[in-house]
Amino acid sequence: MKVAMYSAQSYDRFSFDKVNEEYGHEFLYLDIDLNLFTVKLAEGCEAVCIFVNDQADAKVLQALLNIGIKTLVLRCAGFNQVDLEVAKELGIQVMRVPAYSPEAVAEHAVAMILTLNRKTHKAYNRVREGNFSLVGLTGFNLHRKKVGVIGLGKIGLAFSKIIHGFGCEVLAYDPVIQSYPDYINVIQLEELLQESDIISLHCPLLKDTLHLINKERLALMKDGVMLINTSRGGLVHTRDIIEALKKRKVGFLGIDVYDQEEKLFFRDLSGNIIEDDDILRLMSFPNVLITAHQGFFTSEALNEIAHITLQNLMNAEKGIISENSLTC
């Protein structure tokens, strides 16, 4: 199957070329996003492969169908960038990678907690400049802290297991998951927000979760709470979190995702003027840590993403409907 891969980076090419030796698909690597203006680049292909910041809305899906594309594979778990209802109407099969390495994202969330708390990023820069002072680097023990986990999917469970190992009390909220380890105390969302010292988001971006963290819910949290988001940027209302930081309501913020990240992340903008005032304001806070959607970025995860995506393509070619399909 000939496949146009949008938003392809050098690491995508490496992992997919290596794993594709087992499958024999043909890839057209494109280093630009999928949108209405770039659809035509997939002409002559049988399938399209996209990532988190590519857009597959109604117009794009229709344009894909017009050039003969009836298979769309996502090399990620999230699917908020695809209009699934329209895809079903058009007969376009959409498949994703539901789980590739839950531990990769979970470990990154924990790394952000440790970095913000113990300020290792600041200590590293100080020592390199010959400053060995400890002033301003005070942290706190994670042991016995209450950590709220919103979302108990595979990543949320992996995160809970790790943070429990630090001796934390794990509180969780999930309206769907019914089975979980006994060390997790599942409670209502409002109670979690009120009780947690640290809150980590591990849920998908859906209509019901858009701006899940907003002014009203931030007001319920403890003063000085730490908030971590490694899921989707749209879960957090950016302007509201900025106000909460200014008022010291939020004491620490770690984000690996951002609501408007498609204009920024996965690009080298070091020589450009960044016009997004919200991200610039967030970057100005000393208690905010931002990484550019790298939570998934381990060699194990990249290998698994390639394997599952290539198998999805193989299944589509053979007419096999798997649990990874979102439209069948």
What pLDDT, in 10s, does the model give residues 271-304? 999 999 999 999 999 999 999 999 999 999 999 9
Show which residues are catalytic: 232, 261, 293
Tell me, what CATH number does 231's domain have? 3.40.50.720
pLDDT score of 187: 98
146 and 83 within one domain: no
What is the pTM for the complete model shown? 0.92
132 and 281 within one domain: yes
pLDDT score of 111: 98
Distance CA 177, CA 174 (A): 6
Here the tokens at position 41 are: 């680049």
Distance CA 223, CA 251 (A): 7
pLDDT score of 251: 98
Query: Strand pairing partners for 170?
Result: 147, 184
H runs (alpha helix) in 67-211:
84-90, 102-118, 120-128, 154-165, 189-195
Domains in the chain: how many in total?
A: 2
129 and 159 within one domain: yes
Asked whether residue 328 is domain-assigned, the answer is no
Residue span of the structural domain in which 39 resides: 2-100+298-318
224 and 247 within one domain: yes
Give the chain's residues under pLDDT 70.
none
pLDDT score of 123: 98
32 and 172 within one domain: no
189 and 49 within one domain: no
pLDDT score of 33: 95
pLDDT score of 328: 78
pLDDT score of 211: 98
What pLDDT, in 10s, does the model give residues 75-117? 998 899 999 999 999 999 999 999 889 999 999 999 999 999 9
264: region left, alpha or beta (phi > 0 left; psi from -120 to 50 alpha): alpha
Q: Measured between alpha carbons, how far is residue 293 from residues 92, 256, 262 in Å?
A: 28, 5, 10
